[in-house]
Structure 1
Amino acid sequence: MCRFNEILFAVSVLCISNSWTKEMTEIEALGARPTHCTYEYAFDMYGANCAGLRLGKIPRLKGGIEILDFSDNKLQELHADTLSGYTGIRFLYLVDNHIYLIDEDAFSAFTYLETLDLSNNVIFELPNSILQLPSLRKLYLKGNPILHKSLNALTIVRPIKAPLELLDISDCKIKQLPNWGSLPQLRFYNISHNPLTSLSTDHFAPMCNLERLDLTESTNDMQLCSMKSAVMWFQAKKIFFQLEDYSKLNTNEFNHCPADDIAIHNVTYHRCKAEYLQVQSIKTSRRTWLTIGGGLAGFLIGFILLLWLMHRHNVAQTKTKAEKMKQATPANDPDKNATAILLNNVS
């Protein structure tokens, strides 16, 4: 009996030990890094989340995705075939990778791409094709410190066709802002944390719908008087510009700085406005025609359906009358010809 109790106790200890080990394993698993991409719906769009997997290349993903988060991985190069099977993507996040090379045609097939985030990489050269994407509204290039070499030498194909509303080139070590040309739909421009040497009104005049400009930590190496014309332009066009210190704009030195006549830049500004209104007019006309076309298509479908229902109703009524007449005629009726004529008249 004593021996039995010892065995029972040993078995109990073993069971408790196994359950405790299992519990610890499950707890560790909860805190473990995911090992594969997950899929979910966000804002009625199908998305793939591959963030933080430390992958060196894009894995094979499910088709039909419109959102791809591939942040915090080890991707280094983007070629035409890197994402060729997922050209329907609308939101692409490639933050915190090791990207240094982007082929000119890497995104050429992404006609639906609305947001592209390439922040915190080491991009050597920015392809012009990115600036020509027909649906691109938000472009993030923050924290690419090598990018300043390519932006200074970049021959930008103008006009830029991408309908950019947000452009972020903060913390890219840029000293001179690139000549983007006309950006009539741009509303937020982030050029903060760059060692800018000057601010030219010419640069901002083609941004006729600009609402907010972030200049934080970008004017420290700039002569105070070189800012005067641009600041007057921002104030005249009611553009909110963010500085880390506004007090220097209230000094006697700044107040006595000479300034260019900002009216000379209004020609560029109004040309930009006219271009913007033309684009909006085309969009409005397109929506109007789509609405009219949709309404006409709906009317025609409804009319055809109504005719089909009426036809079915008439056929059913005709068959019912014919069956009633057939039942009303005796089987041994010698005058079958009269019945046939009557049926023909009914149909």
Structure 2
Amino acid sequence: MAYDLLNLSNLGLTSEDLQELMPIIKKKLPNLGGLDLSNNRLEELPNVFGQLPNLRQLNLSDNRLEEVPEWIYYLGKGWLDELNLSNCRLEGLPVTNYERPWYVRKLDLGYNEQLIELPESIYYAFSLEELNLEGCELEELPITGHFIPNRMPLLKWLNLNNNQLDCLDE
């Protein structure tokens, strides 16, 4: 039996022990706004998200991702409301720059213990309002120049609990 999922707006596949994306996600889901793939065993992300033009919320927390592909910056026509990459195995984020900024309002990178320095691409997330870096192993955080407030004028909430910070670098 074939299902028409063109009107599907949210999809949750948490705790399903997924190692790869299911065929349902590889289909075109033009109205999907929220996708929760948390608490699985995903190690990589194939580029199927171009088929999700209206995606605004993506939860990939508690997976085995060591890196995320560059196309993650262009999800939802280049604008994400929430991206949760907490408790993965991330060592950083793909490089971007001033000519190619990315737009995400809420970013959770908490408990990625391999993260010892702030990924440079964070500096180009100009619309960022909430940033969770709790439980990473950050050793320093520049607060002038690139970071706060010059590049993140909208930042309202920043969680730096449980890191290895000795001081905020000026």
Deviation at 1:248?
Answer: 4.8
Change (3 A) 1:117 1:247: closer
Q: Deviations over 1:100-145 (max 9, x none)?
A: 112688334100000000000011221222255210000000000x
Partner Cα separation in structure 1 for residue 106 and residue 32 of structure 2: 19
Report sequence identity in percent: 23
How many equivalent residue pairs? 161
The reply on whether 1:96 has 2:12 as its aligned counterpart is: no
Separation (CA, whole Å) in 1 of partners of 2:144 and 2:134: 15
The yes-or-no answer on 1:234 pairing with 2:153 is no
Matching residue within 160, 174, 187 for 2:74 = 160
From the superposition, tell whether residues 247 and 178 of structure 1 become closer, same or farther in structure 2 (CA, over 3 Å): closer
Do the aligned partners of 1:132 and 1:160 also contact (CA within 8 Å) in 2?
Answer: no
- Does residue 175 of structure 1 match 2:94? no
Q: Structure 2 stretches of 5 or more lacking a match? A: none
Matches within 5 A, 1:50-65: none
- Answer yes or no: is 1:215 the counterpart of 2:129: no
TM-score (norm: length of structure 2)? 0.78
SS in 2 for 1:85: coil
1:1-347 equivalences under 5 Å are: 85-102=4-21, 106-130=25-49, 133-144=52-63, 146-148=64-66, 151=67, 154=69, 156-157=70-71, 160-162=74-76, 163-179=79-95, 182-184=101-103, 186-195=104-113, 196-200=115-119, 202-218=120-136, 220=137, 222-224=138-140, 227-229=141-143, 233-236=147-150, 237-239=153-155, 240-244=157-161, 248=165, 251=167, 254=168, 257=169
Q: Structure 2 counterpart of 1:183, which letter?
A: W
User: In structure 1, how many angstroms separate the alpha carbons of the residues matched to 2:45 and 2:94?
Assistant: 12
Higher relative contact order (CA 8 A, sep 6+): 2
Contact 1:137 1:165 in 2 (8 A): yes
Structure 1: how far apart are the matches of 2:129 and 2:102?
13
Give the direction of change, closer, same or farther, for the CA distance of 1:158–1:95 in structure 2 (3 Å limit).
closer
**Amino acid across the alignment from 2:82:** L
Shift in alpha-carbon separation, 1:197–1:248, aligned structure 2, 3 A: closer
Q: Give deviations 1:222-280, integer Å, cap 9, x for gaps.
A: 333xx22579623442522112159956x4xx4xx4x5xxxxxxxxxxxxxxxxxxxxx
SS at match of 2:35: strand
CA deviations 1:191-225 (Å, max 9, x no partner) are 0000202114x41233211100001101x2x333x
For residues 136 and 197 of structure 1, the distance between their equivalents in structure 2, rounded to whole angstroms, comes to 30
Separation of aligned partners in 2, 1:158 and 1:99 = 19
Moved over 6 A (4+): none
Residue aligned with 2:147, SS: helix
Matching residue's letter, 1:136: L
C-alpha RMSD over aligned residues: 3.1
What per-residue deviation string (whole Å, max 9, x for no partner) do you get for residues 266-325 of structure 1?
Answer: xxxxxxxxxxxxxxxxxxxxxxxxxxxxxxxxxxxxxxxxxxxxxxxxxxxxxxxxxxxx
Q: Give the structure with higher Rg (CA).
A: 1
Question: Is the partner of 1:106 in helix, strand or coil?
Answer: helix
Cα distance, 1:157–1:245 mapped onto 2, change above 3 Å: closer
Corresponding position of 1:308? none
